């Protein structure tokens, strides 16, 4: 239903904005055209629809859900959950915004626990593939807020059926992050006592490198640091590192940086250096850049000059720090420019979890739902060797099989092992394929 002139004008402005390629990462300009549409839908009694299922139609519907919020309306919940995983980033951004407002409202405690769990599941699924740094940040915050609401609410009888183990996706909630205290302490020591401005965190596949960076982003190093997460995998095909860093800083400090269309042509290095100085001065903290998948810096450093520009940022500003996370050791890098840029890094290996932390990972997420026997915990750790991904994978499989009876024993661990061997997930297949013939023979 579309009727008022103000609605039509606001709707057309959204359509024009999307057609011009302006999206949620251009925060100020995008939300400037969203506000009039939100005001217009607030006066409409029925959910608006243009009948075309365009991004503008879906945004109008989501904004209507915001202005006519009803915690008992299942159709609103379904629309919001679809919006979080929509193919268009503008729609996903509005859905996340509406959900954020919903979970922070005075009536948030009225939400059914099952609905909150559905919301979190949709968010976690989207975080696996989300490419927008801004949306990753918003969705991660939203997930944390939902977890707080769940913790404060009384247990729902069906809540235990939601699997708490996360295999394959980064951990966005510190309550589900276990271990790494010694590693975090070592990183802080390198920055505080050894005077180094950069660390290189390397480890094999699925050992929790991204989860560790996100843990640091949430403040694990303490109040002296202002961390900024930079997902290089989401920047595939791009070549201007200064712009990527600026955009990542803009997620936390949007007023410090002009909109994308107003960034100067050519080098943005002077603007980046000025922005770094402003953040450090205003916050009174050291700025810590967290580069995920640092090997992908290859495409940003095609010549010695580009590596020198990256190094100059740190030479000019001693309160600028960096943590680079990836799979390769320094001696395995082939790009001499990347090696030059990382020359001053202190290398730290991200290994497997120590046994006490592995035990906590097995027991604590399922507490109150499934009790793992001591023998079951021992078998899981023996099979996984403290590898975070495989611990999560085994526990996820066992939880699904045992949640109805609330207990897991060694026979359940054996059943899970057989199931995973018979029908291995993609990560297990990739790990097997990466082994040479001797390693495969030893594994048999």
Whole-number Å distance between alpha carbons of 310 and 314? 7
β-sheet with 225-231: strand ranges across: 225-231, 286-292, 320-326, 198-202, 346-349
Q: How does pLDDT run across 27-38, given as a tens digit for each residue?
A: 667 778 888 888
Higher pLDDT, 74 or 79: 79
- Rounded to an integer, the average pLDDT of 169-178 is 86
Predicted confidence (pLDDT) at residue 186 exceeds the cutoff of 90 = yes
Q: Which helix (H) or strand (E) holds 371?
A: strand 371-372
Most confident of 7-16, 73-82, 83-92: 83-92
State how many domains the chain has.
3
Q: What is the pLDDT of residue 4?
A: 66
pLDDT the model gives residue 162: 72
Instruction: For Cα atoms 398, 402, 404, give the angle at the middle one, nearest 5 degrees.
Output: 150
In terms of domains, do 115 and 218 share one? no
Average pLDDT over residues 52-73: 82
**Contact 399/163 with Cβ under 8 angstroms?**
yes
Which candidate, 52, 88, 87, 84, places its Cα nearest to that of 65? 84
Q: What is the pLDDT of residue 440?
A: 47
Q: Which of 349, 378, 409 is the last residue of a domain?
A: 349
Least confident of 230-239, 260-269, 280-289, 303-312: 260-269
Q: Residue 256: what pLDDT?
A: 73
d(CA 22, CA 361): 42
Instruction: Look at residue 168 and tell me if it is in a domain.
Output: no
Question: Has residue 12 got a pLDDT over 50?
Answer: yes
188 plus 318 within the same structural domain:
yes
Range of the domain at 210: 180-349
Q: What integer pLDDT is reported at residue 11 of this predicted model?
A: 83
Q: Provide the mean pLDDT of the chain.
A: 83
Q: Are residues 70 and 32 in the same domain?
A: yes
Does 171 reside within a domain? no
pLDDT at 442: 47
Q: Are residues 128 and 54 in the same domain?
A: yes
Residue 174 lies in a domain: no
Q: What is the CATH number of the domain that holds 279?
A: 3.40.50.300
394 shares a domain with 312: no
CA distance 288 to 286: 6
Per-residue burial over 198-217, b = 16 or more CB atoms within 10 Å of its CB, e = otherwise: bbbbbbeebbbbbbbbbbbb
The pair of structure tokens assigned to 211 is 């989860």
Among 2-11, 116-125, 147-156, name the most confident range: 116-125
Q: 11-15, 104-108, 252-256 — which one is most confidently predicted on average? A: 11-15
Does 131 share its domain with 261?
no
Write out the E strands in 113-272: 198-202, 225-231
What pLDDT shows up at residue 72? 67
Give pLDDT, residue 253.
Answer: 83
Q: Domain for residue 173, yes or no?
A: no
pLDDT score at 156: 47
What digits encode the pLDDT tens for the residues 347-406?
A: 999 999 999 999 999 999 998 889 999 999 999 999 998 999 999 999 999 998 998 889
* Whether residue 387 sits in one domain with residue 327: no
Q: Closest by alpha carbon to 244, among 132, 147, 151, 332?
A: 132
Percentages (nearest 5) of helix, strand, coil residues in the chain: 60, 10, 35
Residue whose tokens read 């271990």: 179
The predicted-structure confidence for 127-157, as pLDDT tens digits, reads as follows: 777 777 778 778 877 877 777 777 666 554 4
Same domain, 140 and 19: yes
Instruction: Kindly state the tokens that stand for 115.
Output: 């609905």
In this prediction, residue 426 carries a pLDDT of: 67
DSSP string, 187-215: HHHHHHTS--SEEEEE-STTSSHHHHHHH
Would you say residue 164 lies in a domain?
no
Q: State whether 141 and 228 are in the same domain.
A: no
Which stretch of 79-88, 222-231, 255-264, 342-351 has the lowest confidence by average pLDDT?
A: 255-264
In a domain, 228, yes or no: yes
Judge whether residue 1 has pLDDT over 50: no
Question: Does residue 153 sit in the same domain as residue 104?
Answer: yes
Strand 407-408 with 346-349, pairing: unpaired
Instruction: Judge whether 340 and 307 are in contact, CB under 8 Å.
Output: yes
Q: What is the pLDDT of residues 272-324, one digit of tens each?
A: 898 999 999 999 999 999 999 999 998 899 899 999 999 999 999 999 999 99
Which of these ranges, 45-59, 101-115, 323-337, has the smallest mean pLDDT?
101-115
Query: Tokens in use for 228?
Result: 């900024």
**Is the domain of 248 the same as that of 373?**
no
25: helix, coil or strand? coil
Residue 80 belongs to some domain of the structure:
yes
Per-residue pLDDT, 161:
58
Structural domain contains residue 133: yes
Write the CATH number for 436.
1.10.8
Whole-number pLDDT of residue 419: 87
Percent of the chain at pLDDT above 70?
Answer: 85
Helix (H) or strand (E) run with residue 311 in it: helix 304-316
Same domain, 119 and 204: no
């Amino acid at each position: 239903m579309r009727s008022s002139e103000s609605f039509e004008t606001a709707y057309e402005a959204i359509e024009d904005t999307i057609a011009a390629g302006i999206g949620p990462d251009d925060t100020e300009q995008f939300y400037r055209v969203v506000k009039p549409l939100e005001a217009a839908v607030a006066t409409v009694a029925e959910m608006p629809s243009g009948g075309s299922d365009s991004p503008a139609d879906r945004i109008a519907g989501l904004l209507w859900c915001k202005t006519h919020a009803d915690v008992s309306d299942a159709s609103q919940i379904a629309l919001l959950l679809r919006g979080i995983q929509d193919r268009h980033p503008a729609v996903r951004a509005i859905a996340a915004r509406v959900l954020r407002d919903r979970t922070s409202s005075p009536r948030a405690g009225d939400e059914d626990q099952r609905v909150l769990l559905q919301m979190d599941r949709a968010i976690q699924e989207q975080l696996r593939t989300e490419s927008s740094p801004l949306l990753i940040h918003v969705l991660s915050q939203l997930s944390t807020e939902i977890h707080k609401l769940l913790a404060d609410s009384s247990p729902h009888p069906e809540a235990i059926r939601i699997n708490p183990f996360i295999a394959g996706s980064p951990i966005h909630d510190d309550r589900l992050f276990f271990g790494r205290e010694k590693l975090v302490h070592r990183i802080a020591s390198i920055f505080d006592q050894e005077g180094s401005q950069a660390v290189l965190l390397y480890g094999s596949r699925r050992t929790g490198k991204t989860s560790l960076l996100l843990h640091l982003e949430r403040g694990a190093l303490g109040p002296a640091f202002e961390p900024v997460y930079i997902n290089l995998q989401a920047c595939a095909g791009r070549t201007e590192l200064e712009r990527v860093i600026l955009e990542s800083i803009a997620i936390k400090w949007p007023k410090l940086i002009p909109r994308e269309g107003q960034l100067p042509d050519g080098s943005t290095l002077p603007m980046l250096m000025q922005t770094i100085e402003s953040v450090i001065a205003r916050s009174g903290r050291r700025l810590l850049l967290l580069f995920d998948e640092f090997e992908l810096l290859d495409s940003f450093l095609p010549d010695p000059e580009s590596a020198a520009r990256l190094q100059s940022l740190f030479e000019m500003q001693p309160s600028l720090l960096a943590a680079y996370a990836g799979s390769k050791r320094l001696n395995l890098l082939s790009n001499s420019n990347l090696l030059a840029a990382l020359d001053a890094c202190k290398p730290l290996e991200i290994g497997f979890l120590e046994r006490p932390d592995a035990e906590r990972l097995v027991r604590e997420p399922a507490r109150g739902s499934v009790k793992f026997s001591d023998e079951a915990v021992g078998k899981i750790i023996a099979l996984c060797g403290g590898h975070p991904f495989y611990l999560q994978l085994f526990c996820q499989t066992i939880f699904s099989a045992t949640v109805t009876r609330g207990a897991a024993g060694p026979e359940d661990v054996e059943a899970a092992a057989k199931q995973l061997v018979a029908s291995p997930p993609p990560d297990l297949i990739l790990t097997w394929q990466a082994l040479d013939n001797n390693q495969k023979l030893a594994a048999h």
